[in-house]
Each structure stands twice: as structure tokens, then as C-alpha cells.
Amino acid sequence: MAKKAETISMIDTLADFKELKNIDKETMINVLEESFRSTIAKMFGTDENYDVIINAEKGDFEIWRNRTVVADDELEDPNLEIKLTEAHVIDPDSVVGEEVTDEVHFKNFGRRAILNLRQTLASKILELQKDSLLAKYKDKVGNIISADVYQVWKKEILLLDDNENELLLPKQEQIPSDFYRKGETVRAVIKSVENVNNNAKIILSRTDKSFLQRLFELEVPEINDGLITIKAIARVPGERAKIAVESYDDRIDPVGACVGMKGSRIHGIVRELRNENIDVINYTSNISLFIQRALSPAKISSIKVNEEEKRAEVYLRPDEVSLAIGKGGLNIKLACMLTEYTIDVFRDIEGADEEDIYLDEFEDEIDNWVIEALKNIGCYTAKSVLAMSRSELIERSDLEEQTVDEVLSVLSAEFAEEEKE
């Protein structure tokens, strides 16, 4: 009865551990069996002649030892062999050379055996816990997690998740204006999971691009549902970010959906990122147009793209250059990161001496689809169109000759009228 009570207590202890550490029943049974075998092997040099049976339903276990019957005067190893007279007590029909099996009560092995078992169990459970933690968090890399601040150090913050597992938020993964006290809740993305000296090292980040992406997925249902796709992200954490989005449904305005009514959706993200300014733009595979949108709010006059070298020369009016570059060069830096092109900005000196007009101002006379076709070849102003030859316009824009002639006529007439005045 003592053995039964001791066994049930041991199984119950493991059941409690399961609830805390999310270890399944089958794994616990295997750990228990391995621990018994390890202890037996340490005591007798081998466990191969033992059968360990764990009955999880009843909450008990049995250990059976198999030994070869030998003559009473030939016994050499009492762990592997048994005297014939002793074998007859177990099985009266036993003969020399056969094998007999008897039940072993673990408590009879002594205090040292029980102590070894507990140490082995503790070691295996700890190892299992580490493996479980690594596997759990490796599957969650790239996901957002909430954790509580436990300790704030100079170079990193130690956080605890709901199961009191330790997580690290290094200084370089924090937004510059982040400030936390013990007990506060932090939201971050799981950046990496490493096995360092057989310990799980889980690194979080609030500066990674994936953190911004996950925040948008949480705030914008259309992204989570796959109706809107995030194509590219560029960030300078805590200062400014640009995100390019695309919708495969013409009825959905991807930019409007991400911003929300009166900015309701994006405001929550901006607050989480310590008032980081976020520009949301429409993605396009047309690199000239994509660069134009990436440099917003600046309006460019013309653009030359070298796709092989992934470089672009952008020409702007002198008063637009500062907008394109942005404070501290931030706008053009983000545009380069977003488009993955090196963008060189030039002042459009030729257009600076005379008044130029953006093509959008001719919407009353030129169809929008024609204006978009001209923008796609890098022409955003009237003079950038007139600077091209008729044949070049037809070839590059893929517009019909009649359409090009009508455009040239409208634009030329505008400047001819201005010269007359």
C-alpha cells in the first residue's frame, strides 16, 4: 500500500507539471520510464533485463526483472542470474537455463536509488521544458506577443509571458522613446529564438518591420482576410514609416481601408509606435510611378530609371526638392528603402525659368487614363511631355498616334496662349 501511495503521488506530481508546462501525458510517461531505467542502469550496470510498466490510468507502475536460472553454486551476477532454489520459490517448474521473472519493488532499492530517481526526473523534466519552450516560440517567430516587464537593465529589458517564461527586449530593438517600468505590459514581435548553452533565448523587437506589419494586420480586417496585401515596408523607428499596399478588388481602396474613417485605424498604430508618422501609399509594379508615390508629398517633373543598376534620376522644381529629401534626408531615405532603388534628386533648372504645369491640371481636356499613361513613362508636367519627340511619345507610352497628337496640341496651345499674353 505504501508503494501504491508513493506511486500515485509521483504520477500526480507529473500531472501538475503537465498543467503548468504544457507537456502531454504520453511524454510524461516516457520521461518516467526513462528515469526508472536510468536509475536501474546506474545501480546494476544495465537495465536491459528489466520491464518497466507505467499505468497512467490507474496511477501506478510495475518493475519486473528477468533473470536466467543457474545452479546454486554457479551464481556470478545476482542481477542477471538467480539460483535454482530461489527460482523455485517464484516458479516451482523452473529449470536451469530458463528465464524467470519476478516483480521488483523500487522502494526496496534504498534511499540512494530514490534520490537518484528524483534527480534524474528533475533533469529530464528541465530538459523537456527547455525543448518545449524552444519549439513553442520557434513556431511563433514573427508574431506579436504581450508580456510584463520584470526587470529593466541598461542594455535590455527582461519580460515574463503568461507562463512566466523569460523574454528579452534589447535596447537596439526598442523604439528610442520607449520607456517602461516594472509591471507594465509591452507589445512586441518575436524576432528570434536561440539555444544558448542549452537555454532558450527569446528576443523581442519593436523596431522590426514585421512589428508594423502585424499591427496593421490586427487593425485592418481587410489585410487579415487577404483582401489587401502589404507589398513593402520602410521604417525609421519612432520617426517615420512608409508602407505600400495593394488590393486585388477594385471596389476596395487599400489606402483608405488602412487609414480608416478619420484615421481611426492608423491612429492606434501610431500611438503604439510612439507617434511614428506613417505614410500609406498604393503599390504599383510600374517602378517610375512607384518611385513618384514613394517620394510623396513631393511632385516630380520627370524621372529616368535604370532598372539594371536599380537607380533612378528624379527631376523636380527647386521648391519641391526639399519636400522630396525631407527633414534630415528622411523622406528620400525611406523612399529608397521602400522601392529598393537608389534615387538621385536633381533640380529641374530648365523648368525653373519658365512656368510649368502638372498634367493633372489638364483633366478637363485630356482623359485620366491618357495622363496616367504619360506618368508611367516619367512625364508628370506639360513641358516634360513637350520635351519628347512625337515618335518617342508614341513608342514609349503605347498610345495611338491620334491621341498623342491631341495631347501635344492641347499642351502646345496652353503655352502658345501664355506667350501671347
DSSP string, 65-118: EEEEEE-GGG---TTTEEEHHHHHHH-TT--TT-EEEEEE-GGGG-HHHHHHHH
CATH code, domain carrying 344: 3.30.300.20
Residues 361 and 278 in one domain: no
Choose the final residue of a domain: 326, 349, 372. 349
pLDDT of residue 246: 96
Pairwise CA distance, residues 402 & 421, whole Å: 29
CATH code, domain carrying 37: 3.30.1480
pLDDT of residue 128: 75
Residues 362 and 342 in one domain: no
pLDDT of residue 349: 55
CATH code, domain carrying 362: 1.10.150
Confidence of residue 19 (pLDDT cuts 50, 70, 90): very low
Residues 225 and 322 in one domain: yes
Question: What whole-number percentage of the chain has pLDDT above 70?
Answer: 90
Residues 214 and 336 in one domain: yes
pLDDT of residue 216: 96
pLDDT of residue 388: 80
What does DSSP assign to residue 110? Answer: -
CATH code, domain carrying 184: 2.40.50.140
295 CA to centre of own chain: 28
Q: Which helix (H) or strand (E) holds 303?
A: strand 302-306
Choice between 316 and 57, residue whose per-residue pLDDT is larger: 316
Question: 403 φ, ψ to 5°?
Answer: -65, -45
Pairwise CA distance, residues 93 & 30, whole Å: 35
What pLDDT, in 10s, does the model give residues 69-89?
A: 999 888 988 889 999 998 999
Most confident of 22-26, 223-227, 298-302, 358-362: 223-227
Confidence of residue 340 (pLDDT cuts 50, 70, 90): very high
Which of 112, 101, 100 has its CA nearest to residue 43? Answer: 112
| Any domain includes 142 | no
Residues 187 and 61 in one domain: no
pLDDT of residue 135: 81
Average pLDDT of the residues of the chain: 85
Beta strands in 11-165 (DSSP E): 50-55, 60-70, 81-83, 99-104, 144-152, 156-160
Residues 369 and 399 in one domain: yes
Choose the final residue of a domain: 349, 372, 393. 349
| Any domain includes 94 | yes
- The number of domains in the chain is 4
Q: Quick one: cell of 79? A: 542481477
Question: What whole-number percentage of the chain has pLDDT above 90?
Answer: 44
CB-CB neighbours of 300 under 10 Å: 26
Residues 158 and 196 in one domain: yes
Choose the final residue of a domain: 292, 319, 349. 349
Average pLDDT estimate for 134-146: 90
Confidence of residue 22 (pLDDT cuts 50, 70, 90): low
* Amino acid present at 296: S
Residues 248 and 380 in one domain: no
Residues 6 and 49 in one domain: yes
**Least confident residue range of 105-114, 145-154, 280-289:** 105-114
What pLDDT, in 10s, does the model give residues 89-128?
A: 988 988 999 999 988 887 777 777 778 777 777 777 777 7
| Any domain includes 47 | yes
Q: Is the pLDDT of residue 391 over 80?
A: yes
Q: For cell 517464484, name the residue.
A: 90
Confidence of residue 266 (pLDDT cuts 50, 70, 90): very high
pLDDT of residue 10: 52
| Any domain includes 143 | no
Residues 227 and 129 in one domain: no
Choice between 360 and 294, residue whose per-residue pLDDT is larger: 294
pLDDT of residue 20: 42
Residues 345 and 360 in one domain: no
Q: Which domain holds residue 90?
A: 2-135
Average pLDDT estimate for 359-371: 87
What pLDDT, in 10s, does the model give residues 158-191?
A: 999 988 889 999 999 999 999 999 999 999 999 9
| Any domain includes 140 | no
pLDDT of residue 131: 77
Q: Is the pLDDT of residue 8 over 50?
A: no
Confidence of residue 220 (pLDDT cuts 50, 70, 90): very high
Residues 214 and 343 in one domain: yes
Pairwise CA distance, residues 259 & 264, whole Å: 7
How, if at all, do strands 240-247 and 228-236 pair?
antiparallel
| Any domain includes 410 | yes
User: What count of Cα atoms within 13 Å lies in the side-chain half-sphere of residue 410?
Assistant: 19
| Any domain includes 141 | no
Query: Exposure pattern of 316-355 as b/e (b: 16+ CB <10 Å)?
Result: bbeebbebbbbeeeebbbbbbbbbebebebeebeebeeee
What pLDDT, in 10s, does the model give residues 38-57?
A: 888 888 888 899 998 887 66
